[in-house]
Structure 1
Amino acid sequence: MLPFAPSAERNKDPILHALRPWLETRARVIEIGSGTGQHAVHFTAALPHLVWQCSELPDAVEGLAARIAQEGSHRTPPPLALDVAHPPWPVPAHTSPDAFDVAFTSNTLHIMSFDHVRHFFVRVGELLKKGGLLCVYGPMKYGGAFTTPSNADFDAQLRARDPLSGIRDFEALDGLALAQGLELRDDLDMPANNRLLIWELTT
């Protein structure tokens, strides 16, 4: 049986709807932390020009690979084993013809330490083509405040499990992005108290 995430099933259509205008002129996507692969399969079926490279932690890549092999296509190559905190990432250089136009991640930054979040932004800044996009989906805080009581409860659950995890401040993420030459292009309200942040590499 393939791994299945109910949350990915619920959010795949809203995310696709929000991303579609940004992806129409961009072809090569890397997803950091692809989980079950449901997003990759759904998005490439809806947008047939996309090549979607999945990735996941080495100890979790097997289930992802099973879905890609069973439900993917030639536009979803075998997933990469990738640990955010352990460079170099096994990806093409930003100067390569195979470099990525888009980096996407969903519901990952709040389950890693902030040190790993820093690594994430540095590596993404290094791998994207100029004009490439970083798209981050998940819950956020603004000005240190949670957007809803349920997000505050979720943050407490995360920190009880791992004190280094937790919902991230938008301002902190935007600062990390700016340090890599990524400028905010959109901050979209999404269902279930989530956001979709889109940055563009301008340097």
Structure 2
Amino acid sequence: MVDPKPWIPAEAPGDTMRRHAPATLRNRDAIADVLATVLPASGIVLEVASGSGEHCAHFAQRFPTLTWQPSDPERAARISIDVWCDGIGNIRPALDLDATSPDWPVARAAAILCINMVHISPWPATLGLVTGAARLLHRGAPLFLYGPYRRAGHPTASSNEAFDAALKARDPRWGLRDLEAVVAAADGFALDRVIDMPANNLSVVLRRV
């Protein structure tokens, strides 16, 4: 289950610009192991809703032949991203990208990642994500999603049910999505695979057709 708490300051003394997402340390290696089977050998990887920037910093060092483009619509998040990623040569400065916008500040990408956004945003953000990804990706390129989902034929874990209730208490537009609804909304994509992950999360790989 994804931690529902807001960002907390990084532990470095005096560091007030970096944010820290507690779940990152727990999931980044498991996600990277899946990405090793999904990502191309080279090209630009766009991360939508990069949050604190910790995932991008970790993945860029794990996959140094790729160019990483983080993004987030929130200014404070972009500052945190750039601080976390400072000094890592294959990461570009964070972009101001709102998934719901019809105009993204990126023309093309070899792959797109979106971790823990679909459930912590209104449904139009997911629709914007898949629409924007369809514009940027070439045939066969991956759109990688990670987070908790409801899935037909699979009981939802009690921890995820509690998380869903906590999210909706914060914003009724948030909450766990039905995986089938997300896949159906992804016009121009085919579902490649779904991988069970720790803490009742899923990695979802869609491919541009």
TM > 0.5 fold call:
yes
Is 2:91 the partner of 1:120?
A: no
Question: Which string of whole-angstrom CA distances, capped at 9 and with x for unpartnered residues, describes residues 143-194 of structure 1?
Answer: 39752011000000000110000001011001011x2x11111100000100
Q: Give the counterpart of 2:82 among 65, 79, 99.
A: 65
Q: Which residue of 2 aligns with 1:79?
A: 94
Unaligned runs of 5+ in 2: 1-14
Q: Which residue of 2 aligns with 1:156?
A: 165
Partner secondary structure for residue 104 of structure 2: coil
CA contact (8 A) 1:155 1:167 kept: yes
CA contact (8 A) 2:120 2:175 kept: yes
Matches within 5 A, 1:180-191: 181-191=188-198
In 1, Cα distance between equivalents of 2:121 and 2:130: 13
CA 58–5 in structure 1, closer or farther in 2 if over 3 Å, else same: closer
Matches within 5 A, 1:6-155: 6-59=22-75, 60-69=77-86, 72-92=87-107, 99-143=108-152, 147-155=156-164
More helix, by proportion: 1
Partner secondary structure for residue 131 of structure 1: coil
Q: Letter of the aligned partner of 1:58 in structure 2?
A: E
CA contact (8 A) 1:37 1:67 kept: yes
CA contact (8 A) 2:39 2:142 kept: no
Partner secondary structure for residue 91 of structure 1: coil
How big is the shift at 1:43? 1.1
Q: Which residue of 2 aligns with 1:95?
A: none
What is the root-mean-square deviation in Å for CA atoms of aligned residues?
1.5
More strand, by proportion: 1
**Runs of 4 or more above 4 Å deviation:** none
Unaligned runs of 5+ in 1: 93-98
The percent of aligned pairs where both chains have the same amino acid is 35
Q: TM-score, normalised by structure 2?
A: 0.87
CA contact (8 A) 1:137 1:194 kept: yes
